[in-house]
Amino acid sequence: MSLRGFHLVFISFATLLCLGLSVWCFGFAPRGSGWGVTAMGVVMAVASVLLPYYGFRFYKKAKNLIL
């Protein structure tokens, strides 16, 4: 697997991890966990939106590279 392919797979797994952690923070975290869990959920939700955008931009830029 090339470095480019590994990077795309890593971004995909990171997106799924962020999405899963965000769902856990908002849906399954114990009650009374505090504002830290909510803040982490918000950060992970934002990251789960921005990571695919970054992956798409990386893919467009990297497909023109000759390695």
pLDDT digits (tens, 9 = 90+) for 34-52: 999 999 999 999 999 999 9
Q: Map out the domains of the chain as residue ranges.
A: 15-62
Is the pLDDT at 67 greater than 70? The verdict is no
User: Per-residue pLDDT averaged across 13-27, rounded?
Assistant: 97
Cα-only R_g, the chain: 15
Is the pLDDT at 66 greater than 90? The verdict is no
Is the pLDDT at 9 greater than 70? The verdict is yes
CA distance 20 to 30: 16
